[in-house]
Amino acid sequence: MAEIKIIIAGAGIAGLAAAVSLRQLNSSGHNFDVHLYERAPELKEIGASIALSPNGLRTLELLGVENALDDNIGYRGPSALPMIYRHWKTNEIVSVDQFVDVPNHKHQTARFHRAHLHDALLQHVPREIIHLNKEIISAEADGAGVTLLFKDGTNVKGDILIGADGLRSKVRTTFNPEHKLHWTGRTLFGSTFDYSLVKDIPDLPPDSTHWWGPKTTFFASRLGRNMYTTVGSFDPRDYSKENPDSVRWDQVADVAPFRELYNEDWNPVVKALAEATPYVRLYPNFAGEPLASWVFGSRVTLVGDAAHTHGGSHAAGGSLALDDALALYLSFRHVLATVDPSQKPSLEDIHRALTLYEKTRRPHTTRLINGVLGSANAIAPATDEELRQRMTNRASTIWLTEHDVNATFAKVVQDEGLIPSIPQSSTANPQKQSSQTQSRL
């Protein structure tokens, strides 16, 4: 069997999910040797929360990461609603999000401490294929292969490069030097801590709740493993002239301005939650224009935040990263079905697979980024009536949260006039499939 070496830049959620999915191609007789290169000295996630929507949870199940679907690790509230929107001052429920086609409890939106989700993925990736302390500075691709260059002066070569190195991806920058990120005008305060610190707050909602105020919002939710999260959003220009570029991602900040922001007229539940929040970290929200292409030198592509620079909007990034990994798997599986496993796939085969992947994912994520960039710096509502109208008339995000990658991939294959080259057990009836427990890959 000819070996195909896949190099993945970054071992965050996108990189680990890509490793899990691509290693499963070996079950078709091919020999994919997958390696991840991560700059961190140890494998750990930041102490923030992350939500996964039905699309991401279904994909985890397909990838075989069923350990992440357990109620113990991800929290699902008793209402079985993905989000409840309350008025900042009165605390009344103004609106709710609802599932459209998610009958299975384990596919319903779940909220995690990021480290727990990261750990759940890590259980499916052999430790010896993850190389730590490897800070990427750039990459190269030509007809012969790909090279990843590290700050320590070393490099690694392979056949295919997957850039999973996050929002400030060096792989993306190498192949798109003109692409720029812009601060969206918002910076998040975030905290995760033990649920015991807030559990006795009177009237604490048991479900994930987003309070909307005239200038800012407040989000609070239980997480798996008895953790809790509070997230505030603010415009730091209201407080100082500090340049958002100078605020480091995940930087520890003074908790006093956070508590102050939710004092005064906010309802007693939010005030108490802000008071009980033991510390905060800052997450300046940056986004960038959609990329014109996701395939570079016929051997390189991007997944996760490296590919779609939407910032933290709609809490979509984790689920999108998982769906990217699934689409990559489906694309390679389709092309490899016509390649003799004793031969290495040709440059043309690799290009075809990466192009199928791009066609499955880029239009979907471009729609999200355009929406995010279009709503940046929106003017605050002038009256309470206007605030309530905005809350009730929010655009539906079902196209995002219940997106079906299998169905999209099947449509791309059909539109390309490609003959399905594999038995499509998971794509044969995508509509029906979306409401059922899907079969494993």
Q: Are 208 and 216 in contact (CB under 8 A)?
A: no
Pairing of strands 130-131, 31-37: parallel
Tell me the closest approach of the beta carbon of residue 149 to ligand FAD, in angstroms: 10
From residue 283, alpha-carbon distances to 116, 248, 253, 373 in Å are: 20, 8, 10, 18
Tell me the closest approach of the beta carbon of residue 419 to ligand FAD, in angstroms: 33
Tell me the closest approach of the beta carbon of residue 318 to ligand FAD, in angstroms: 3
Q: Are 355 and 418 in contact (CB under 8 A)?
A: no
Say how far apart CA 290 and CA 264 lie, in whole Å: 40
User: Which among 155, 123, 118, 120 has a CA at the least distance from the CA of 136?
Assistant: 155
Question: Which long-range contacts link 412-416 to residues 24+ away (Cβ below 8 Å)?
Answer: 412/356, 412/359, 412/360, 413/334, 413/356, 416/356, 416/359
Residue-wise DSSP of 209-261: EEEE-SS-EEEEEEETTTEEEEEEEE-GGGT----GGGSPTTEEE-SHHHHHH
Contact set with ligand FAD (CB under 6 A):
9-15, 37-40, 50-51, 134-136, 164-167, 170, 188, 283, 285, 304-306, 311-312, 315-319, 321
Q: Which is nearer to ligand FAD, 16 or 356 (CB)?
A: 16
Q: Which is nearer to ligand FAD, 13 or 25 (CB)?
A: 13
Q: Which is nearer to ligand FAD, 38 or 159 (CB)?
A: 38
User: Which among 207, 181, 205 has a CA at the least distance from the CA of 310?
Assistant: 181
Tell me the closest approach of the beta carbon of residue 377 to ligand FAD, in angstroms: 16
Q: Minimal CB distance to ligand FAD: which residue?
A: 317
Q: Which is nearer to ligand FAD, 175 or 345 (CB)?
A: 175
Q: Which is nearer to ligand FAD, 20 or 188 (CB)?
A: 188
Tell me the closest approach of the beta carbon of residue 242 to ligand FAD, in angstroms: 17
Q: Are 9 and 162 in contact (CB under 8 A)?
A: yes
Tell me the closest approach of the beta carbon of residue 53 to ligand FAD, in angstroms: 8
Q: Which is nearer to ligand FAD, 329 or 413 (CB)?
A: 329
Residue-wise DSSP of 361-392: HHHHHHHHHHHHHHHTTPPPPSSHHHHHHHHH
Tell me the closest approach of the beta carbon of residue 207 to ligand FAD, in angstroms: 16
Q: Which is nearer to ligand FAD, 54 or 166 (CB)?
A: 166
Q: Which is nearer to ligand FAD, 171 or 413 (CB)?
A: 171
Radius of gyration for the alpha carbons in the chain, expressed in angstroms and rounded: 22
Say whether 100 sits in a helix, a strand or coil: coil
Say how far apart CA 292 and CA 302 lie, in whole Å: 12
Q: Are 207 and 219 in contact (CB under 8 A)?
A: no
Tell me the closest approach of the beta carbon of residue 347 to ligand FAD, in angstroms: 26
Q: Which is nearer to ligand FAD, 321 or 335 (CB)?
A: 321
Tell me the closest approach of the beta carbon of residue 206 to ligand FAD, in angstroms: 19
